[in-house]
Structures are given as C-alpha cells and as structure tokens.
Amino acid sequence: MFDRRLVQNFDWVLLLILLFIAGISILNLYSATYPIRNMGGVQIFHKQIYWYLMGFGVFFLMTTFNYYALERLAYPGYIACILLLAFVLVMGKVSSGSQRWLHLGPISFQPSEITKIAVVLALAKFFREKGDRRYYRLRDLWQPLLVVAVPALLIVKEPDLGGAMLLVAVSFSMVLFVRMYWKSLLILVGGILSVIPFIWVGLKSYQQQRILTFLRPDMDPLGAGYHINQSKIAIGSGLIWGKGFLQGTQTRLHFLPEQHTDFAFSVLAEEWGFVGSVVLLLLYLFLILWAINIAKNSKERFGSVMAVGLVAVVFWQVVINVGMVTGLLPVVGIPLVLFSYGGSSLITTMAAMGLLMNISMRRFMFQ
C-alpha cells in the first residue's frame, strides 16, 4: 500500500493552495469574530482552528487508500446518506428553525454536506460503467435523475433551498461533462423550468421572500434586503487596498450580519479591498484549474468524472456565495467553502480535497 511512487507523486501544489486558503480564512475569521470576542467570538475562533486541524487530518486520511475502492462503496454510501437525510428530517434537533443538523454528543454535522460527496461518487460510478463514446439521451439518464432528485427534495424539506440548488448544479455539471444530446438537454431544461412553479409553491414563505427581495430589493428593507445592502457597502467601501486588518467599520460595528458565516467574504473585501478579494478568488480559481488538471491526468474514467464532480462542488459554492454577497444572486444561505466558519462544511470539503489528492497521487496506477 505504501508505494514509493505515491510519495513521488504527492501533489504539493494542491496542499499548498489549501494551506494558503486556510491561512487567510483563519486570519479573516479572527477579524470577523473580533467585535463579539467577549460574547462567544473567541470560542468560535478557536473552534475553527480545531476544525482546520481535523480537516487536514481527514485530508491525509483520504489519501491512504486507493480511491478506486470507493467505486464499490458508491451506491451503498449513497443509500446511507439518503437514510441519514430522512433521519435528520424526522429526528434532527431544530436549530434556528431548520432541521439540518444531527447531534451526536459533542459533534454535530449536516447530512446534506456528506450527501454532496455521495452523489458525486454515485454519478461517477454510473458514468464509468456506461462508457464515454455516447451522447446521453434523456431516457438513458433516468437513473441519475432519480439519484439527484431524491436527496434534493429531502434537502429542500429541511428547509435548505441553497443546499438543494447546489446539489442540482453539481449534478448538472457532471452530466454536461459526459455530454448530452442537444435535444435531450433542451427537454431537460424545459422540464426543470416547468417544474419551477410547483417548487415555488412548495417553498416556505421566507424562502420565497428572499427570492422576491432579490428581484426587488426595496420590497423587504428590514430583512434580507438589509443584509445585501450592508454587504455591498462593506465590499464596496474596501476600495483597492481595503481598510486594513481589524479596521473594517461595517464589521466592527455589527452592521454586517452573519459576518463569520455567510458574509465572511464581505469582511475580507472590506479589510483587504479589491486586491485582497481578487487574491482569494484567484486562489480558488487556481485550485479549480489544478483540480481540472488532476482530472486530465487521471487516465481512468471513474477518477476523472469524480474529480470533475468534486471540482463542481467547490466551484458552485464559490460562485453562489460570492455572487450572493455582491448582490448578483438572492440570499440562499450558502457559506463560502473552506472560508466561512463551519465544521461540517469544512470537514466534508477537506475530505473531498483529500479524494482529489488521492486521484492525483494514483494516476500512475493506470497506463
């Protein structure tokens, strides 16, 4: 198992990028929790450091076995996640109004996070078996459709609109990657569009409110409209070089709500300006492009499709969160992956990065 070539093929670049992002994240979190340091902020900061340490631990753990072994576990793992989602709906403690969390003693995690990985694995397995010459028609895709629809609906019920949307986006990306017939694609898009009214009716009123607020921000000046307003002010007021570390007035004076979670990026933008926010974005970009490279070098279908899926998970979270805090998208409650405060998301994302590292390290195993 411990092959010297593994060490030779150790992907230092991937690790380095992750370390940079982690470093900036910790620094930013210190500033974001500084105003509430006497009211739990310090604990939050320390907690996140532990999460990061654990995260890197999981990262390395995920490289110790051959990722190909997961291929057999893909479907059972997926079923397990579905069961966890159902379980959390029924039993999960209600935390600030939504049933997303499972509490096992001191640890609490969100099954919806793990589900993302599970779906990626399941879809990767599915597409590996089908080969890659064909263009997929809609009727070929009924299984993937089901694989995605079931957890997506369970997640929406939690209610976590953002999480469900993310799952759909990631799956869609994977399907597009393995190519579809134009006509089938149009039918699929048409089908989704026609389902939207039904989904709209099924949304909770505050979720509907958020989307309406986004389209007409003056409609809800006291709720979600307020968040976006403050976020844009925070980001915009950073100018080129930012206000400086711990000097963000929006942050320090509590104007920015959720500043260590959903709006962590806004804190960075206020304190480090255009330069700082672009640097972080470029780090993410580099991470994603590097991961695409890993997919290219994989030489094996399961690995490359999986890599694309894992990339999509990171890509969409970045796009949705940054789009949201800059006012391009409605507020859907997606934190910034690897950056915002949150253990569940961090651990699962580090696990995903570990898998990427895994795929990268074992590319020599196939000729």
Partner 1 sequence: MRPSNFDPISVDILNRQLKKVTIVVLIFFAGLIFRLWYLQIVNGWKYRAKSENNRIHLEDIPPLRGMIFDRDGRLLVDNRAGYDLCVIPEDVQDPEGLLNRLNELIGIDLDKAREIFRKGLHSFPFKTVPIKRNISRDELASIETHRFNLPGITILVRPQRHYLHNHLAVHVLGYLGEITEQQLASGKYPNNRGGDLVGKAGIEDEWQRFLNGIPGGEQVEVDAAGRKLNVISKKAAIPGADVYLTIDSKLQGEAEKALEGKRGAIVAMNPMDGEILAMASSPWFDPNIFVKGIDRQTWDAMVKGAGHPLQNRAVAGQYPPGSVFKIVVALGALQEKVLNPEEKLFCGGSYRLGNSVYRCWKRWGHGWIKLHRALVESCDVYFYQVGKELGIDNIARYARKLGLGARTGLDLPQEKPGLIPTRQWKLKRWGVPWQQGETLSAAIGQSYVLVTPVQMACLISAVFNGGRLFRPQLTKRIHVPGGDDIRDFHPVERWDLGIDNANLELVKQALIGAVNEPHGTGSKARLKDIVVAGKTGTAQVVSLTKTDHNGGQEDIPKALRDHAWFVAIAPASDPKIAVAVVIEHGGHGGSAAAPVAKEIISAYLDANE
Q: Are 351 and 59 in contact (CB under 8 A)?
A: yes
Closest CB to partner 1 among residues 137, 179: 179
Closest CB to partner 1 among residues 194, 205: 205
- Distances, alpha carbon 180 to alpha carbons 124, 172, 187, 299, 321, in Å: 15, 11, 11, 22, 28
Closest CB to partner 1 among residues 87, 366: 366
Closest CB to partner 1 among residues 183, 254: 254
User: Contact positions toward partner 1, by CB under 8 A?
Assistant: 39, 68, 128, 132-133, 173, 177-179, 217-218, 221-222, 225-226, 229-230, 232-240, 249-250, 253-255, 269-270, 273-274, 277-278, 281, 284-285, 288-289, 292, 295-296, 299-301, 304, 308, 311, 315, 318-319, 322-323, 326, 328, 365-367
Distance from the Cα of residue 268 to its chain's centroid: 19
Burial of 212 (0-12, 13-18, 19+ CB in 10 A): middle
CB environment 81-91: b (16+ within 10 A), e (fewer): bbebbeebeee
Q: Least distance in Å: CB of 290 to partner 1?
A: 11
Closest CB to partner 1 among residues 66, 99: 66
Q: Least distance in Å: CB of 304 to partner 1?
A: 6
Which of 354, 351, 364, 355 is CA-nearest to residue 298?
364
Q: Least distance in Å: CB of 274 to partner 1?
A: 4
Q: Least distance in Å: CB of 282 to partner 1?
A: 8
Q: Least distance in Å: CB of 104 to partner 1?
A: 32
Distance CA 87, CA 81 (A): 10
* SS3 assignment, position 275: helix
Closest CB to partner 1 among residues 83, 176: 176
Q: Least distance in Å: CB of 238 to partner 1?
A: 6
Distance CA 68, CA 81 (A): 20
Distance CA 70, CA 311 (A): 18
Closest CB to partner 1 among residues 106, 131: 131
| Secondary structure (DSSP) of 277-305 | HHHHHHHHHHHHHHHHHHHHHT-SHHHHH
Closest CB to partner 1 among residues 311, 338: 311
Q: Least distance in Å: CB of 269 to partner 1?
A: 7
H-type alpha helices, 38-141: 41-61, 70-91, 111-130
Q: Least distance in Å: CB of 133 to partner 1?
A: 8
Distance CA 195, CA 184 (A): 16
Sequence-distant (6+) residues with CB within 8 A of 52 are 22, 25, 26, 346
Q: Least distance in Å: CB of 24 to partner 1?
A: 16
Which of 172, 175, 165 is CA-nearest to residue 196?
165
Closest CB to partner 1 among residues 108, 237: 237
* SS3 sequence of 122-154: HHHHHHHHHCCCCCECHHHHHHHHHHHHHHHHH
